[in-house]
Amino acid sequence: MMPRNVLVVGSGGREHALVWALSRIPGLKVYCAPGNPGTETLARNVPIAATDIPGLLAFARQEKIDVTIVGPEAPLVAGIADAFSTEGLPVIGPVRKAALLEGSKAFAKRFMAESGIPTAPYGIFGRDERKKAHRFLRSFAPPYVLKADGLAAGKGVLITDSLSEADALLDRMLSGELFGEAGSQVVIERFLQGREASLFALVHGTAYLLLAPAEDHKRLGEGDTGPNTGGMGAYAPTPFLSSEVLEVVRTRILEPTLEGMVSRGTPYRGFLYISLMLTEEGPYVIEYNCRLGDPEAQVVLPLWRNPELMLEDRWERPYEQISGYAACVVLASAGYPGAYETGIPIEGLDAVPPDVLVFHAGTRRDEFGRLLTAGGRVLGITGMGDTLEEALRRAYAGVDAVQFEGMYYRRDIGRKAIGALSTP
Ligand code: AMP
Ligand code: GLY
C-alpha cells in the first residue's frame, strides 16, 4: 500500500529537492523537520531539529507518519534509523552500524579491503601511533592525503604537496587540535589521479535502484581552484561515467558493498552515495556517504521520472530517468566556505523563469516575511534541458534573476562536460 504521511528530516537544498520530488506524487501529505522557507511552500514544516531523535520519533508516532526519509548524515550516524525501526516506524536511511560507511573512514577502508573493493592503499593510525604514522606517510609520493576518521562537517580531508605540512597536520589531527574526537584516528592514503563522479543508489539489502550519476564542483573557484566547499554546482548525468565503467562500478563496487553489509548482519537501507575517482586503472572508491549528496540531489531528483519508488519496499518497476540533463548552480554568501554574514535580503525570486527550479539551502524569513540569507550556500538554481547546454542556459537564466549582496557563484558549472560531449 502506498504511504500517505511522509516526513523528510533536514533543512537544506537536498531536503527541499526531496520534498519537491515527493510533492509531485499524488495523495501524499508531506512534512519536513525542520525544513526551510522553500520546503514550506510544498510541505508542512515542523520545528524539530534534524538531530532531535526523541522529538522526531514522538512526532512520527503522533502524526502516524508512514515513512521517514532522512536527508543528512548526522542523525543517521547517531542512530535515528535504529530508533525508528525499533518502534516499527519505516525509515529510509541506514541503521547506525551501516551508516558507519560514512561515520568512520577507518571502518569504510577496512570494509573495502575485506570486500575486495578498489580504493586507495592506506594505513590507519591512532593517537599512540604517531611515529608509525609519520613513517607511513613517507611511503607515499606527494600529494599527501590525510583523513580524520569521524564526521568533520565535510572538512576532514586534508591534501598537501608538502611533507613538512603533512607532518604538522598529522600531529594536529592526532592531538585532537584539528577535529577533536573525529581525528583520534587518521587514515593516510595514496593520492588518486582522475576525474570524480558521484553515484547514488537507493538500496534495500541487495536490491537497488541506480539514480543518474552526477558530477559535483567541490572547489570554490572557476577552473576548479581555491578551497573545497560543500559543492558549488552539479549536473547529471555525467558523460564521464560511461556505461562500460558503470558496469564495472556495479559489479566490482556497488554489489560487493551491499553484499558485504548483508553478510555483516547490517543490511543497508536508504540512499548510498559512492564518491568515485575514475582513474586510468579503473574506478576507485574515494569514500562512501550514507545519504544523497548536496547539491547533487538537486539534479538527480528532478531527473527521476518515478520517484514514488522511493516509498516502495519492493521494486516491481525499474527506475526511470527523464531524458536530457539537469544542472544546478549554487548561490553562496560572500566569504563562504570561510566566515560569512547572514541576514542579507534576497531579491528577484519571483522573476526566475517558471521552468527553472529554485531550491533553498540557507534561507530564512524574518518577522515581516522577507527572505534572508541564513547560510553559506543559500540557493540552488536548477535548469533542465534536452542538452547539457540547454540545462545550463536555463539554470544561469534563473541565476541572473536573483540578487543578494555579496552573492557568489561559479560561471563554469558543467563546462568540462560540454567539452567532452562535443568532442567526437
Ligand atoms: P571527501 O570529504 O572525502 O569527499 O574528500 C574531499 C575531496 O578530497 C574529494 O572530493 C577528493 O577531491 C579529494 N580526495 C579524497 N581522497 C582522495 C585521494 N585518495 N586522492 C585524491 N583526492 C582525494
Ligand atoms: N556534494 C558533496 C556532498 O554532499 O558530500
Residues 28 and 26: their CA atoms lie apart, in Å, by 6
Cα–ligand 1 centroid distance for 34 (angstroms): 30
Alpha carbon 78 to chain centroid distance? 17
Cα–ligand 2 centroid distance for 363 (angstroms): 19
pLDDT of residue 342: 98
Residue 307: inside a domain: no
pLDDT of residue 2: 75
Cα–ligand 1 centroid distance for 416 (angstroms): 19
- Tell me phi and psi for residue 396, to 5 degrees: -70, -25
- Half-sphere CA count of 157, side-chain side, radius 13 A: 18
- The residue contributing the CA closest to ligand 1 atom 18 is 191
Residue 389: inside a domain: yes
Q: Which of these, 7, 101, 93, 105, lies nearest to 56 by C-alpha position?
A: 7
pLDDT of residue 156: 86
User: Does ligand 2 lie within 6 Å of residue 296's CB atom?
Assistant: yes
Last residue of a domain, one of 79, 95, 111: 95
Residue 84: inside a domain: yes
Per-residue pLDDT of 177-190, as tens digits, reads 888 788 888 999 99
Could you tell me the pTM of the whole model?
A: 0.95
- Tell me phi and psi for residue 321, to 5 degrees: -110, 140
Read off the CATH number of the domain in which 65 is found.
3.40.50.20
pLDDT of residue 424: 53
Ligand 1 pocket: which of 105, 286, 287, 294 to mutate (most atoms <8 Å of CB)?
286
pLDDT of residue 180: 79
Are 82 and 95 in contact, with CB atoms under 8 Å apart?
yes
> Consecutive 10-residue runs of the chain (424 residues): their mean pLDDT?
89 98 96 98 98 98 97 97 96 97 96 96 92 93 92 84 92 86 89 95 97 96 93 96 94 98 97 97 96 97 97 94 98 97 98 98 97 98 98 98 98 92 67
Domain residues for the domain of 24 are 5-95
Read off the CATH number of the domain in which 170 is found.
3.30.1490.20
With cell 531539529, the residue in question is: 49
pLDDT of residue 181: 81
pLDDT of residue 321: 97
Last residue of a domain, one of 150, 175, 190: 190
Read off the CATH number of the domain in which 356 is found.
3.90.600.10
